[in-house]
Amino acid sequence: MTHADLASRIRAASHLTGQFTLRSGRVATEYFDKYRFEADPALLDEIARRMAPLVPSGTEVLAGLEMGGIPVVTALGRHTGLPCAFVRKQAKAHGTCRLAEGAEISGRRVLVVEDVVASGGQIELSTADLRALGAQVHEALCVLDREQGGADALAAAGIRLLSLLTAQDLQAAA
């Protein structure tokens, strides 16, 4: 499967038409439902296989962000053999009361994993939290960079964004 074939499969699985109210309140006739490519085991496995070579050398832990980054990081962990941490938006108030569950992150080089990046805001917030817990975070890896300023915003926060695909790749697959 080529890069273009993968983009086409992701677009076919995730592109919806109809009437959708967006977070901004705007109404759109097209929608990209990222959970649809994450819910397809064969497609998610292919995505993870292709993301594995993008993992920077020296990475010790993969940290998937709640919620969409969790299936991606789990699949990626299978292909890299690296342990995974599952990062909440807020530490839970019961049980372990942890922000990052799973693999230990303190003092380790951690790669943040996300499904789709638009502004990069959640990666920036979660990276700050992970760094406060002692993680060394320098990069984030996503399936799709929507090319809406996220890479630049993250760079300003000292985070290099790596992506498997871009919005341009999906547009070309249309």
CA distance 28 to 174: 17
| Interacting residues of 127 by C-beta distance below 8 A, sequence separation 6+ | 112, 137, 140, 157, 159
Question: What's the domain count of the chain?
Answer: 1
Domain that holds residue 138: 3-172
Has 92 been labeled as part of a binding site? yes
**Per-chain mean pLDDT for the chain:** 94
Q: Is the pTM of this model over 0.95?
A: no
Has 122 been labeled as part of a binding site? yes
Has 34 been labeled as part of a binding site? no
Cα 54 to Cα 13, 14, 16, 24, 164, distances in angstroms: 23, 23, 29, 32, 8
Q: Name the amino acid, one letter, at 79.
A: H
Has 146 been labeled as part of a binding site? yes
Has 116 been labeled as part of a binding site? yes
Has 64 been labeled as part of a binding site? no
Has 94 been labeled as part of a binding site? yes
The answer to whether 122 and 114 are in contact (CB under 8 A) is yes
CATH number at residue 83: 3.40.50.2020
Q: Taking the CB of residue 67, how many other CB atoms lie within 10 A of it?
A: 13
Has 89 been labeled as part of a binding site? yes
Q: Is the pLDDT of residue 111 over 70?
A: yes
Q: How many residues does the chain have?
A: 174
pLDDT digits (tens, 9 = 90+) for 4-46: 999 999 999 999 999 988 766 888 888 889 999 999 999 999 9
What percent of the chain stands above pLDDT 90? 82
